[in-house]
Structure 1
Amino acid sequence: MKKSSMIAISLLASACLAAVADDAFEVNWVQPESPAPAPDPDAGPVDETPQRWFVELSNAPLGDNGSTAALQTEKQTFRAAARNAGLRYIENYAFDNLFNGFSVTVSRAQLGTLARMPGVKAIYPVETIAPPEPLPGGGAPELYTALAMTGADVAQNSLGLDGRGVRVAVMDTGIDIDHPAFGGGGVNGATAFPSARVATGYDFVGDAFNADATSPSYNPVPTPDARPDDCAGHGTHVAGIIGADGALKGVAPKVTFGAYRVFGCEGSTTADIMLAAMERALSDRMQVLNMSIGAAYQWPEYPTAKAASRLVNKGVVVVASAGNSGATGMYSLGAPSVGDKVISVASFDNTAVRLPAFSVSPDDRKVGFSAATSAPPPPSSGTAVLARTGTTASTADACSALPANSLAGKAALIRRGTCSFYIKAANAQAAGAAAVVLYNNAAGFITPTVAGTPSINIPVVAISMDDGALLDGRIAAGPTQLTWGPFQASVPNPTGGLISSFSSWGLSPDLQLKPEIGAPGGSIYSTIPLELGGYGSMSGTSMASPHVAGAVALLLQAAPRTAAGAVRTILENSAQPKLWSGNPGLGFLEPVQRQGSGMLRIDNAVLSTTRIEPANLSLGESQAGPQTRTLVLDNRGRRAVTYTLSSVNGLTTGPSTYTPSFFSNGASVAFSRSTITVPPSTALGVAVTVTPPPTLASTAGGLYGGFVVATPDDGSPVLRVPFAGYIGDYQARQVLVPTAFGFPWLAKLSGANYVNQPSGATYTMTGNDVPFFLIHFEHQSQKVRMTVRDADSGKSWHRALQTEWMGRNSTPTGFFAFTWDGTTVAGNKTYTVPNGRYTVELEVLKALGDAENPAHWETWTSPVITVNR
């Protein structure tokens, strides 16, 4: 965000665009089998204002051919001006290569002062970023199901590719250098660093670092170290997917690693530390950078996103996870993946899941489970009779009190639904149960929580719907026993090959098609540090991104001269779209704004000799009408190939940000010719005209998308180009949507709490006794400015704040707190307003809006602010 005092945005988009009634056209609304998780609109207000900020200065960084001398002079000028202005801040990092500026810590009351400092081009929040937690479970080391999903097994076994000679950077929690999968000597090996496999890197933070202010172990002070070893697990898991070589083999098992540690042993990191690591990876001459971390709801202008695109310009292929914010709705992608030249990766669920298991009689069948949180862990041995809590499946939900001692010493089989997991477990416990086995009432796996008062003191585990039905049938047929033990089960995943529920939604706020591609990320078994067990399962787009990074290494091994900017095109062209996760049986494709081009297929990417550019079509707002673009088919093979052109739609999504709705109404696509023969070493163009779906009342403000399909006549891989666009007028989308708490507020800060001042208030302008403006952003905005006016005469006292590239709030009840310190600026001159009565006018320019068009701005005027110093 430019010159800002805030962070993000959230919520619905207005459907009252220039739309026609639904009954004018057929509206094909489709329902998912199970509703997706969504934020609670009735939750309490959430303050999402940061305390740490990027400060961007005016000159170009070295990555854009800036001057070292000019950058140094500019930084010294800022520091001197800050001292003269009385700005109290902590300088955390100074950047020159991929970003020109600083990261600083400053009080909320001085944000306005920071934003108005001479030479400041923009300020952006330094987001706090947490890695996903590992799923429970372990087992024999295998990654083969995920590798088979992407064609990496074919690339290794049939094409002879292993990533040898390619340098891949992993920015994460570090890598366990002692792990045999990376050439280490084992737990007692004390492998030297650098090693043959982990050849370079740096620890930017140290073991104790934790940027999560809500954590008991909060410690935001980094203690850098030369050895980027891993004590948290996430980075080793990511590195294993990319290139483990041992009992488990990754996508590219012979790559050379650079390890850039940005997390401590637990907790979060910050975006400025990420940026410092990106600059180090550039200086270390890495060819590929994987970042399985990011800051959600951002613009491509966010510092880590801009820095990542500059890395691509310097020849580094940058791969980043799209984010795990799928439950927060549309436009939830994270930076750096939202960067213009970054490969943004969505997550698909693995086709199989390796879980801890118990066995059941009479055939000792192994049933995989997930242990519930807030309950004792399952025992390592022992046997119990398995019992139902009702006579039929419909009465076996245990939502009502059960007869005393009816489950004494038994393991209770209980179906999900009707009431909370805690109530079910508490009722079973009160009836004497020794354990509870919950089974799902829909496809997929669950990891329930049974937190409550009084606490649950018996083990609780969860199994799949199919396994629950099997056990229910066995109990009905006769006595059935459950045996605990050190068992494992490789369980077919009912959602395998479908988009993961946590995977973030696009598009980017500038309506660019994001994410670009997907890979397995749900339930991936890989390496973890030896002291944590050596191998384990995790889920997240964090696990999808390294599949693509490893695939890039295979591609660069096969074609070493491939330009960094061309890699994304090759991967997108060869990907395979997948069915809608909401109800795959209907045959619809997952929305493009969530899966991008589809599932990675590295074997097809290597084998294909034709590229289609551009790799995707971002079509903007449908109010502009049909869009005609030229696709260029570049045949780099030795034979002519004839391609037949066609198209297929993905599902359309409705206008709501937090609770997406789905429609089969899609675009129509026409071609200037239906077939095209491309001679060898020749590039030919074809015109493609995409007519958006009609702007209906139910879909206005939604997103549509699909795929152009080029089918060759020689049996070579099918090529695709995804397209996507916005339905209606993007600038009709409301940003300052009223919430249940009545934001925007003029507020006072009382301790740690804000107090609304709807009738106005008096401020001494000392310390934190300054006006706070609590604003809820339902969508990303292009510019935010605040102007001070005399409350009685209307005279303008100039600008209090101007910022650009605002993100959105993450929840329907989230807000950002802007401040005013009693000064304003016009040009390069700063004014201190005298004591008196004032109002502050907040103006928000909508995404992609025209600053000269009043209809593209939203405004709010504050209650009267009395300045009484």
Structure 2
Amino acid sequence: MRRRKLPAFLLGVVTITASATLAGAPAAQALPAGAPADKPAPSTTSSVTLITGDRVTVRGDGTTSVEPGPGRRDMRFATYRTATGRHVVPVDALRLLRAGKLDARLFDLTALTAAGYTDERTRELPLLVAYPKAQGGKARSATTVQGARVTRDLSAVGALAVRADRAARASLWEAMTGGTDAARTLQPGIDRIWLDGKRKINLDVSVPQIGAPTAWQAGFDGTGVTVAVLDSGIDATHPDLAGKIVAAENFTDAPDADDNVGHGTHVASTIAGTGAASNGRYKGVAPGAKLLIGKVCGTEFCEESAILAGMAWAAERAPIINISLGGDDLEGIDPLEQAINDLTARYSTLFVVSAGNAGGFAPVGSPASADAALAVGAVDRDDQVADFSSRGPRVGDNAIKPEITAPGVEIVAAKAAHDVIGGPAPVAGYSTLSGTSMAAPHVAGAAAILVQQHPDWSSQQRKTVLMGAAKPTEGFDVFAQGAGRVDVARAIKQSVGVDEGSVSFTGGQWPHGDDTPESKTVTYRNSGTAPVTLTLAVDTTGPAGLFTVSPGTLTVPAGGTATTTLTSDTSVDGPEGLLSGYLTATGADGLKVETPIAVNREPESYDLTFKALGRDGAAAENAYISLFDLKTGTQYQIFGADSAKRLPKAEYGMYSFIDSETESSLVAQPKLAITGPATITVDARDAKPVDVKVPRADAVPTFIVLGADWTIEQGVIGAGIIGLEFDQLFAGQRDPKSSFDGFLSSAVIALAQGDGVNSPYVYDLAYFREQKMLDGLRKNVKAKDLATIKATYATEATGAQGVKANSARYTPDGSYWGVFIPFDPPFRRTEYVNTDNKAQWSSAFEQQLPPVGDGWPETLASATATPATFRGGRTYQQEWNRAVFAPTVAGAEYDWDYVSRLGDLLWVGMPSFGEGPGHPGFSTIDSARTALYRGNTLVTEVDTEWAEVELPAAAADYRLEKSVTRSAPHQFSTQVSGTWTFRSGNVAGETPKQVALSTLRFSPKLDDRNSAPAGRPFVVPVHVDHQAGTGTANKVTVDVSYDDGRTWTKAPVAGSGDHRVAAVWHPRGKGFVSLRASATDQHGGTVTQTVIRAYAIG
């Protein structure tokens, strides 16, 4: 059986990325943000309401905020980042998460957003509620209260699929759990709660490559065998699939089983396509087989509940099931893995599953990671393992996965009529795709041929014979290819297989001089009619004597078995770590059976005992300790107050959370050297309190976050705690002498008047300490250490509230820290930031529609300011939400801002609603169009504000057109458009280069409602903002309209260069002014921008 560690939690913690807010009031939100992605995404704000009812908001620039749900005002939060995503976890979920009772993805913002489980896209959160199988009724009762509804009974796998309504999640959480915040338990009848997540489908010589024609000539083409394909459906009209489909079932929300992606059709035809549309050229591996189609993917993403239902349906009806989809494999056995193991045992169905397309960046995915699954990697035409093919070992126990490979590079197969993926193929009606998704159906087809030849074989026999007959590729170890590339020609000739398929050894503990050899029985099974004599040998990359086999010769009787003993002796001298090879059995007539073998020869390691003490000095009931190797980033978790762990000799960073009902302590040690056995005690009393006093006596905290971050070669690892009261949070260092050059601790605090809403002032304070952890924080802030920002906020959207944050970062490439505090515009506020922290400050503003009932605010628009350094004792002015809102290239900070090119890739990400003062800005919109022309030839046209386009390398003249519309509650810039001409060619190197273009920025002097006087002359300053290489503007024209652009009047323009002023005459009465301007730069580039309802008059 598969050995597993405790379920993953807090793996690879990174900078704190969330805050707490005031329940029942507009959000006072935290704003930390890591460095942006390679290309800045258009600024969209998405929110996720967690299973606990708490709301997490992720903004387009990567900033994140948290708002406690109804009745949860005093909730504290932990925040962390794993290798796969950013997490925010409320304290009352920590214990259940650590115990493996909650799926970590329920708090993974990246996964939830990618799956479409944001508040903007759905009101319901899909869950899988696992229950003891005898208590299904109790589980149903517990999960249908307070806003959850059962959508699918998955009794075959011991679970219910339910949907939790957004507004009722806080009450549902209370109904499904019991106990105190620090000691929550699930209610009786509920064993575990999973996210009903989404898995992703894993994207002419390949059939001969695996020897299928040889099998056909021998009379084996899958005739009489049904293969199930759980995928995106099927194009039943394709000629290659005519008469192939025995049944099709739709498990998605789509109206039918038709393939609107193209993946399922491609996979199905690789298995059993006749090649009718290509005169047999693109025939499948088992063209005589029939197909059972289960549509479990409505798009490229596939809901786990649909996959589970499809598995249960297909397992009763087909001996082979192909699953070319997957997701990250976490520690523990997830529902899909469990279902494959259970259904295989029940029906002897062979699940052939693609290994994943993460290459060496992530291990083999789930559900290929299931014990019973045959995990398939991909090779190219030369049997070289594809760069994208996921490698092993398996997460948790170092078992060998993938187990076999097959062609998966540039595979040509049937193209669905509604195909949206795939490249061109030599013959119409086909497409080219690459991925382990394409490799798996080659193996499924091979398995179908074996079923035809040996209908009485078990699924394990089919699996192991395919593995044993596979052809390993020299230069790749077993963790890249398993047994090697499938060889169906050899498989149909060989009657011998190894029951175990592969053999993995645990290995002894370091030091290895006295290791006891570990032996395992290897069973050879002969399904033939004559005895077979085998000669056994070991081929390994390890030292001599690491693996031995005895006896070295076996005779396996007809229809019987024979065993040998494979021994791993890690006491021999040699390298440490994962060592592997093959046990090879050879016999007469070219018989050859390859069995992958592996062992983990432990590096120098020591037994450690970890103890955790609470603030009362007693053993802590709710403690978590994490250590990670400062060189490799490998992380280890320790749960509970008294735990044992064996770790390799290394230098580690260490942090711990120790929680009680009312307090959270973060204790860190920047560097801890493990050089021998030890007892490591983490004492919450080493964490000191936080107390900060500011000049205004009535200021109270609205947000506190204490953090610890390590910058190592693999990235930033860190942890933090969040709360609302000074007496809730404590921070400190375990060993006062410990330090690490890449370590940075931080405290970020926001204070305001009352609950923060419409406070006339705010304090944004950030404190950092290099190399060591903060020992709490006690500060009496002086006015000389504060910069004063006099901020003015105008009104734009009807009925909107505003939120604004001043955020600090310690290093140019570091994270931003700050907190959003709300107000009702028009508004003026005095904002203080401390200047004794070596930090740069950036500012961000949002317009939001206030929440309705128990709902959450809706973000309408956002704007940011580039980082600046302030000086203590000085006063600065800022204006926000000030018209005119128009496309802008002002405020660019990163290489890909805003229209840039690298190689032949052009990125268009220009903000559409930059503010008059020069802040880049974004907004909700009704429609958008972005089009690019090369000369007068259309290159691309999309209905988004951004575009990514591959262009020819040669320099050419281009025209970019962009238009956006928005409506109520927005009052201004309801239609915005622009046209730019520029010249661009290939950009060599690794750094993007901005395209030479400009934007026009209007900055009239308006009142706080973005209005100007009617019936009088007025001046409109026009500024030309440039990307690199444009040069100064040499011509600027301005037109004005008072009827929303139906008629235009030319306005006189004064000034020179990039600073011009247009003179207009406002008519009497109320209305709106629209503006249109054009400019030409010194190098011939042009720009024309039009803004309908630029500002109001009257």
TM-score by length of 1: 0.54
1:3-43: CA deviation from partner (whole Å, max 9, x where unpaired): 989687699xxxxxxxxxxxxxxxxxxxxxxxxxxx99xx9
User: Residue 236 and residue 773 in structure 1: after superposition, are their counterparts in 2 closer, same or farther (change >3 A)?
Assistant: farther
1:383-428: CA deviation from partner (whole Å, max 9, x where unpaired): xxxxxxxxxxxxxxxxxxxxxxxxxxxxxxxxxxxxxxxxxxxxxx
Structure 2 partner of 1:680: 558
CA contact (8 A) 1:506 1:594 kept: yes
CA contact (8 A) 1:296 1:325 kept: no
Return the index of the structure with the highest Cα Rg.
2
CA contact (8 A) 1:519 1:600 kept: yes
Structure 2 partner of 1:348: 379
User: Which SS does the other structure have where 1:705 is aligned?
Assistant: strand
Report the count of equivalent residues.
538
User: Which SS does the other structure have where 1:645 is aligned?
Assistant: strand
Greater Cα offset, 508-517 or 119-128: 119-128
- Superposed, 1:69-468 pairs within 5 Å as 70-80=135-145, 83=146, 93-102=152-161, 116-119=185-188, 120-132=190-202, 143=204, 145-157=205-217, 159-183=218-242, 196-205=243-252, 223-225=253-255, 227-245=256-274, 246=276, 247=278, 248-265=282-299, 267-282=300-315, 285-299=317-331, 301-315=333-347, 316-329=349-362, 332-349=363-380, 351=381
Q: What one-letter code is carried by the residue in structure 2 that aligns with 1:709?
A: T
CA distance in 2, matches of 1:529, 1:278: 23
**Kindly, what percent of the aligned residue pairs are identical?**
24
1:631-679: CA deviation from partner (whole Å, max 9, x where unpaired): 2233333333322111212x5xxxxxxxxxxxx7686332323322334
Structure 1 partner of 2:529: 638
User: Residue 574 and residue 836 in structure 1: after superposition, are their counterparts in 2 closer, same or farther (change >3 A)?
Assistant: same
Structure 1 residue 106, shift from structure 2 partner = 8.2
Structure 1 residue 341, shift from structure 2 partner = 0.8
User: Which SS does the other structure have where 2:441 is aligned?
Assistant: helix
User: Residue 286 and residue 295 in structure 1: after superposition, are their counterparts in 2 closer, same or farther (change >3 A)?
Assistant: same
CA root-mean-square deviation: 4.9
Match among 530, 554, 579 for residue 704 of structure 1:
579
Q: Does 1:535 align with 2:567?
A: no
User: Which SS does the other structure have where 1:551 is aligned?
Assistant: helix
Q: What one-letter code is carried by the residue in structure 2 that aligns with 1:77?
A: A
Greater Cα offset, 47-56 or 734-743: 734-743
CA distance in 2, matches of 1:203, 1:263: 9
Structure 2 partner of 1:57: 130
Structure 1 residue 503, shift from structure 2 partner = 0.9
Structure 1 partner of 2:439: 544
Q: What one-letter code is carried by the residue in structure 2 that aligns with 1:526?
A: A
Q: Does 1:512 align with 2:376?
A: no
Structure 1 residue 200, shift from structure 2 partner = 1.6
Q: Does 1:553 align with 2:427?
A: no
User: Residue 625 and residue 273 in structure 1: after superposition, are their counterparts in 2 closer, same or farther (change >3 A)?
Assistant: farther
Structure 1 residue 238, shift from structure 2 partner = 0.6
User: Residue 609 and residue 228 in structure 1: after superposition, are their counterparts in 2 closer, same or farther (change >3 A)?
Assistant: same
Unaligned runs of 5+ in 2: 15-36, 39-60, 63-80, 88-107, 113-124, 178-183, 420-427, 510-514, 608-625, 638-654, 669-680, 689-712, 735-772, 779-1098
1:187-241: CA deviation from partner (whole Å, max 9, x where unpaired): xxxxxxxxx4222222233xxxxxxxxxxxxxxxxx243x311121111111111
User: Residue 74 and residue 513 in structure 1: after superposition, are their counterparts in 2 closer, same or farther (change >3 A)?
Assistant: same
CA distance in 1, matches of 2:130, 2:465: 36
CA distance in 2, matches of 1:619, 1:124: 31
CA contact (8 A) 1:169 1:288 kept: yes
CA distance in 2, matches of 1:740, 1:670: 32
CA distance in 2, matches of 1:498, 1:527: 25
User: Residue 641 and residue 6 in structure 1: after superposition, are their counterparts in 2 closer, same or farther (change >3 A)?
Assistant: closer
CA distance in 1, matches of 2:185, 2:320: 38
CA distance in 1, matches of 2:191, 2:718: 21
User: Residue 523 and residue 503 in structure 1: after superposition, are their counterparts in 2 closer, same or farther (change >3 A)?
Assistant: same
CA distance in 2, matches of 1:338, 1:234: 22
1:415-458: CA deviation from partner (whole Å, max 9, x where unpaired): xxxxxxxxxxxxxxxxxxxxxxxxxxxxxxxxxxxxxxxxxxxx
Structure 1 residue 560, shift from structure 2 partner = 0.7
Q: Does 1:668 align with 2:741?
A: no
Match among 526, 550, 562 for residue 457 of structure 2:
562
CA distance in 1, matches of 2:383, 2:328: 24
User: Which SS does the other structure have where 1:688 is aligned?
Assistant: strand
User: Which SS does the other structure have where 1:230 is aligned?
Assistant: coil
Q: What one-letter code is carried by the residue in structure 1 that aligns with 2:338?
A: K
CA contact (8 A) 1:517 1:597 kept: yes
The structure in which a higher percent of residues are strand is: 2
CA distance in 2, matches of 1:257, 1:97: 23
User: Which SS does the other structure have where 2:589 is aligned?
Assistant: coil
Q: What one-letter code is carried by the residue in structure 2 that aligns with 1:170?
A: V
User: Which SS does the other structure have where 1:546 is aligned?
Assistant: helix
User: Residue 278 and residue 820 in structure 1: after superposition, are their counterparts in 2 closer, same or farther (change >3 A)?
Assistant: farther
1:338-387: CA deviation from partner (whole Å, max 9, x where unpaired): 111111111111x2xxxxxxxxxxxxxxxxxxxxxxxxxxxxxxxxxxxx
CA distance in 2, matches of 1:79, 1:526: 45
- Superposed, 1:842-857 pairs within 5 Å as none
User: Residue 181 and residue 78 in structure 1: after superposition, are their counterparts in 2 closer, same or farther (change >3 A)?
Assistant: same
CA distance in 2, matches of 1:738, 1:717: 49
Structure 1 residue 2, shift from structure 2 partner = 11
Q: What one-letter code is carried by the residue in structure 2 that aligns with 1:203?
A: N
> Which has the higher relative contact order, 1 or 2, with Cα contacts under 8 A spaced 6 or more apart?
1
CA contact (8 A) 1:739 1:813 kept: no
TM-score by length of 2: 0.43
Match among 589, 602, 616 for residue 728 of structure 1:
602
User: Which SS does the other structure have where 2:191 is aligned?
Assistant: strand
Unaligned runs of 5+ in 1: 12-38, 61-66, 134-142, 184-195, 206-222, 352-495, 581-589, 652-663, 746-757, 775-786, 795-810, 823-832, 843-860
Q: What one-letter code is carried by the residue in structure 1 that aligns with 2:500?
A: P
- Superposed, 1:754-765 pairs within 5 Å as none
Structure 1 residue 814, shift from structure 2 partner = 8.5
User: Residue 125 and residue 78 in structure 1: after superposition, are their counterparts in 2 closer, same or farther (change >3 A)?
Assistant: closer
CA distance in 2, matches of 1:346, 1:73: 42
CA contact (8 A) 1:168 1:553 kept: yes
CA distance in 1, matches of 2:579, 2:5: 30
Q: What one-letter code is carried by the residue in structure 2 that aligns with 1:346?
A: G
CA distance in 2, matches of 1:760, 1:613: 46
User: Which SS does the other structure have where 1:326 is aligned?
Assistant: coil
Structure 1 partner of 2:115: none
CA distance in 2, matches of 1:99, 1:598: 35
1:540-590: CA deviation from partner (whole Å, max 9, x where unpaired): 11011111111111100111111123221111111111122xxxxxxxxx1
CA contact (8 A) 1:4 1:124 kept: no
Q: Does 1:690 align with 2:568?
A: yes
CA contact (8 A) 1:773 1:817 kept: no
CA distance in 2, matches of 1:520, 1:640: 33
